[in-house]
Amino acid sequence: MNAWNKFWKWYEDKILGSILIIAVIQFIQIPHMVWNADLYLQTGMISRIHPALDWLLYGVDLIEIVSIINVGMIMFSLIKKRRQQRREAYQQLSNKQ
């Protein structure tokens, strides 16, 4: 088994943890969304209170990159697995005939 296949086998075994990471990132987006709306509406209730808070809430956008990559890897993994199952089903069908 080459390194590529080993990686995908390992990743598929850890997919639940991967989904949990995505869920946490998406829940973190809620305060960021409220903060962003406050910036847009210029109410000043949450935004521009403290620079560190603004930096933290702005930085949440950067964690989305992890989520986007993770979702892409999950999709690739599931497509790869489904293709393998189809191949095996086709081979079993061919062997019966």
Q: What are phi and psi of 92, to 5 degrees?
A: -65, -40
Torsion of CA 73, 79, 80, 84, to 10 degrees: 160
Per-residue pLDDT of the chain (97 residues; tens, 9 = 90+): 799 889 988 888 888 888 888 888 888 888 888 888 888 888 888 788 888 888 888 888 788 888 889 889 999 988 998 999 999 988 888 887 6
The residue assigned the tokens 């990743």 is 11
Task: Say what the pLDDT of residue 83 is.
Answer: 92
The residue assigned the tokens 């829940």 is 27
Task: Say what the pLDDT of residue 3 is.
Answer: 92
Q: What are phi and psi of 50, to 5 degrees?
A: -145, 135
pTM above threshold 0.85: no
Task: Say what the pLDDT of residue 14 is.
Answer: 87
Task: Say what the pLDDT of residue 86 is.
Answer: 92
On whether the CB atoms of residues 53 and 45 are closer than 8 A, the answer is: no
* CA distance linking residue 86 with residue 92, whole number of Å: 10
Q: Is 89 exposed, middle or buried (0-12, 13-18, 19+ CB in 10 A)?
A: exposed
> What tokens does 40 get?
């847009």
